[in-house]
Chains A and B, each alone.
Chain A
Amino acid sequence: MAERQLYLLKSGEIWLKGGNRPFFERMLRRHLHKTLKPYRPKILMQKGRFFLAVDSGGTAAAEQTLAKTFGLVGYSRAYATEKTLDALIETAREICREAVNSRRTATFKVESRRSDKSFPLNSYQISSKVGAAVSEAFPDLSVQMKDPDLVISVEIRDRAYLYGLTYPSPGGLPTGSAGKGLLMLSGGIDSPAAGYMMAKRGLVIEAVYFHAYPFTSQEAQEKVETLAGKLASYLGSIRLWVIPFTDAQLHIRNHAPEQEHTLHMRYAMVRLSEMLARKIRASCLITGEALSQVASQTVESLGFTDGASALPVFRPLIGLDKEDIIALARQIDTYDTSILPYDDCCTVFSSKHPLVKPDRELIQKSYDSLNLEGVLLDALKQAQMIRLPRQEPF
């Protein structure tokens, strides 16, 4: 049997969930099983700790996955060794070498726990002996008890387990634990960030993109596919629905007053998204809207477009400044793609002076008079699904 690599997983909020804890754990297990399937992942629960074991060929995949697994706050490589002092020292030195080579490490300490009381040294003795051996091998490192750069943990159980550096994971709740949401994904900066935020709260995300060929380009769609792929890195994979929107947009442009075009277009998009969400059994919509960022995102405009969906519409960016959204987009690596110059809306469909504070009743009446429902149903029938794998293959 091939050698296996072991990881210690550090979960965040899962532990707070009391009676629901087994459910969240199941979701986490399911996500890791699905994502790391080729490497025969095995998830173990031992004494309140989560361990992941994968085939040694799967370490890069496992580490990429763990760095983007919601429900975890961090992970460490774990090393199982024989229960001898020499083995402990050798492994501790290896952990130290890894730390020194990968980040600035000037201070360390050793923390030990001994549940197998037959081991001849007690916890204190293990820490001092291993610590002294590490100091000897790395004379530049000094021991520091409070907040050192590196903590080497030693646990003596059925075997001896050692952990070193903790690498960060994104936190949040395990994928799927909150159900499924449909993300309205444009090529902009906001919607991928909104998708990320809701995925982090445990939603499985599917995405919908409205394509208006020839008024928007194939490159614009490819850009959206790339963005969806970036989100797939957190989710395992993602389904992107592309709905042909040209007819609806032309209908609005050719029948509604110019200043209302954007609002009706948004309303129609929300309406279509709701229809699609029901079809794919998603229980909410997600948009990248931020209050008053553009004309269609004022309180009055959002009040209107909200009416297009009976499903809840989540807008996780609603209170954020653009700078904060950009920082998040950079963090999740979608920003550079989002700013590529392929517009997702052609100027022929944008209003020069869009309505900013629509009267709810009047605008609704105006939308209803467009009789768009048939056009939208036709568009929905032509929706195409593209399944996108995670962006960076292992």
Chain B
Amino acid sequence: MKHYFDWAATALPDESVLQVCSSTALEFPGNPSSSHRPGMEAAKRLEQLRSLCSGYIGCEPPQLVFTSGGSESNGIVISSLVWRKGRGSVILPGIEHPSLREYRAWLQELGFTVVTIDAPWGLIRTADLAAALRDDTVAVCFNAVHNVSGAVQPVHELTAAVRKHEARTGRTVHIHVDAVQALGKIPFRVCDYDIDSASFSAHKLSGPRGTGALYVRRPIEPTSRGGEQEQGLRPGTENLPGIAGFHEALSRCVPDVADRRSRAEGLKRLLLEKLSGSREIELLQDPDRMDDYSPYIVLISAAPVPSEVLLRVLSDRGFFLSAGSACSSQTAKKREHVLTSMGFSSTIASGALRISFGGTTTEAEVLALARELAEQTAMLRSMLKPS
């Protein structure tokens, strides 16, 4: 892997984490549901890991359900809503990850009203959320750290507004937070927040793919039947090797999250400083509120150069980034929708690029990226400029 800048999509694997997965698989071969010794040993190890992981996540062990990752965790919460007797409105910011946003039509079909709120520069405004709350609001869902813009949402203020509304109406509102881009990257413990559920994913922290967790403050209605595992929320034989890898990744990221964050801040500062000279590259993060963004994510636009063209050129030169949006495919249109919800024009959105850092990103790589970005953007701009 030459120069990887797509850590927000997935982190590069960590060999020692994979070794833990492998050794756990060999050491605990039994099914945790079996009543023989290997089964019971596996069950015991599973509960140990649950206890250890919940320590890092900041909740009680019974509140932590192991899942296949962030998208599934989000889906479990939303799906459990529809099992409730009543209907009502659900608030989903327009910038949300598809694993939340794509439930809109489904919820509407099932009789819910879905209220969308915009988030200028990716930042959800408490006043906008407060204005969107209605007497029949049953749930509010948002990202703690926005996966595209890197915006760190004011979770305390947002939840306070919801609870104030609850007190006034006397009706409870479920607050669900997708914390996939927060866990292990910025300090985030669920016990610090007044939230009802939260989603986590292991592979964003160099843990194994297909593993993640859902925090539920109080039990929620299971959506499947026929398996008792994970409180019935995620039936099926538990992925013990994956969970062990998840724990290993947490143990590497969470304790020194502050050091890692300041390292990422340094890399981001360096990149922004180097890009600030370029007239062709526009920063899509609010320059007046840079502290409100994850240090791991930088969102820029090279419009009118389409992001997919710049990505292609950079990829061929060994720099791997992600598009904030793209030319014309259906998926790209959905992504573009995220950018327009942030207040950007479709032209700016079509040139958006997301750069994300991780544990092995170096200053030298960031410098090389800044140079390539400026050079290739200028080259493409000159191609597209009428001479």
- B interface footprint on A345-368 (CB within 8 Å = 1, 0 otherwise): 011100000000000000000000
Contact A348 B385 (CB under 8 A): no
Q: Count the A residues whose beta carbon is within 8 Å of the partner chain — how many?
A: 13
Q: A254 in the interface, Cβ–Cβ < 8 Å?
A: yes
Q: Is A341 part of the binding interface, using a Cβ–Cβ cutoff of 8 Å?
A: yes
Q: Please determine whether B329 and A254 come into contact, CB atoms closer than 8 angstroms.
A: no
In contact, A253 and B384 (Cβ under 8 angstroms) = yes
Instruction: Report yes or no: A347 in contact with B329, Cβ–Cβ below 8 A.
Output: no
CB of B309 within 8 A of CB of A250, answer: no
Looking at chain B, what size class is its interface with the partner chain?
20 to 34
Contacting residues, chain A, for B385 (C-beta < 8 A): 254
Contact, CB under 8 Å: A254 / B306: no
| Complex contact A346–B306 (CB within 8 A) | yes
Q: Convert A6-34 into 0s and 1s, putting 1 for each residue whose CB lies closer than 8 angstroms to a CB of B.
A: 00000000000000000000000000000
Among the listed A217, A250, A343, A347, which residue makes an inter-chain contact with B383, where contact means beta carbons less than 8 Å apart?
Answer: A250
Given known A214-B309, A214-B312, A215-B309, contact A346–B327 (CB-CB < 8 A):
yes
How far apart sit A213 and B383, CA to CA, in the bound complex (Å)?
12
Closest chain B CB from A339 CB (angstroms): 11
A351 to B386, CA, bound (A): 15
Q: How far is the CB of A369 from chain B (nearest CB, A)?
A: 14
Q: Is B350 in contact with chain A by the CB < 8 A criterion? A: yes
Smallest beta-carbon distance B43→chain A, Å:
45
Alpha-carbon distance between A215 and B313 when the two chains are bound, in angstroms: 9
Question: When each residue 321-356 of chain B gets 1 if its CB lies under 8 Å from chain A and 0 otherwise, what string results?
Answer: 000000111110000000000000000001000000
Q: Which residue of A lies closest to B314 (CB)?
A: A214
A348–B310 Cα distance when bound, in Å, is: 12
- Beyond A217-B312, A341-B330, A341-B331, is A348–B306 a contact (Cβ under 8 Å)? yes
Contact B313 A343 (CB under 8 A): no
Are B309 and A346 interface neighbours, CB within 8 A?
A: yes
For residue B332, which residue of chain A has the nearest CB?
A341
How far is it, in angstroms, between the C-alpha of A250 and the C-alpha of B381 when the chains are bound?
A: 11
Instruction: Scan residues 99-127 of chain B and give those whose CB is less than 8 A from a CB of chain A.
Output: none
Q: Mark B282-311, 1 if CB is under 8 A from A, else 0.
A: 000000000000000000000011101100
**A218 → chain B closest CB, angstroms:** 8
Task: Judge whether A348 and B384 touch: CB under 8 Å.
Answer: yes
**Which of A215, A217, A254 has the most chain B CB within a 10 Å cutoff?**
A215
A348 engages B309 (CB within 8 Å): yes
Q: Is A117 an interface residue (CB 8 A)?
A: no
Closest to A256 in B: B386
Does A255 interact with chain B (Cβ within 8 Å)? yes
Q: How far apart are A268's CB and chain B's nearest CB, in angstroms?
A: 17
Query: Which residues of chain A have C-beta atoms less than 8 A from B328's C-beta?
Result: 343, 347
Q: Are B350 and A347 in contact (CB under 8 A)?
A: yes
Residues of the A chain whose Cβ atoms lie less than 8 Å from the Cβ of B309: 214-215, 346, 348
A347 touches B306 (CB 8 A): yes
How far, in whole Å, are A347 and B323 apart by their CA atoms in the complex? Answer: 15
CA distance A254 to B382 in the complex (A): 10
B387 adjacent to chain A (CB < 8 Å): yes
Interface string of A309-353 (1 = CB under 8 A from B): 000000000000000000000000000000001010011100000
Measured in the bound complex, the distance between the Cα atoms of B380 and A253 in whole Å is 13
Closest chain A CB from B144 CB (angstroms): 31
What per-residue 1/0 map shows which CB atoms of B21-41 lie under 8 Å from chain A?
Answer: 000000000000000000000
CB distance from A18 to the nearest CB of B (A): 52
Bitwise, A200-214 to B at CB < 8 A (1) or not (0) is 000000000000011
B387 touches A214 (CB 8 A): no
Query: Complex Cα distance A217/B308, Å?
Result: 9
In the bound assembly, the distance between CA atoms of A343 and B330 in angstroms comes to: 11
| Proximity bits, B234-278, A CB within 8 Å = 1, else 0 | 000000000000000000000000000000000000000000000
CB pair A348 B304 closer than 8 Å: yes
Question: Which chain B residue shows the least CB distance to A254?
Answer: B386
Q: Which residues of B contact A346 (CB under 8 A)?
A: 306, 308-309, 327
Closest to B329 in A: A341
Q: In the complex, what distance in Å separates the CA atom of A253 from the CA atom of B387?
A: 10
CB distance from B359 to the nearest CB of A (A): 30
A-B contact pairs, 21 of them (CB 8 A): A213-B312, A214-B309, A214-B316, A217-B312, A250-B383, A250-B384, A254-B386, A254-B387, A341-B330, A341-B331, A343-B327, A343-B328, A346-B309, A346-B327, A347-B306, A347-B327, A347-B328, A347-B350, A348-B304, A348-B305, A348-B306
Nearest 8 interchain pairs by C-beta: A341-B329, A254-B386, A347-B327, A214-B313, A214-B312, A214-B309, A347-B328, A250-B383
Beyond A214-B380, A250-B384, A254-B384, 7 additional contacts (C-beta under 8 Å) are: A213-B312, A217-B312, A254-B385, A341-B329, A341-B330, A348-B309, A348-B384
Chain B interface (Cβ within 8 Å of chain A)? Answer: 304-306, 308-309, 312-313, 316, 327-331, 350, 380, 383-387
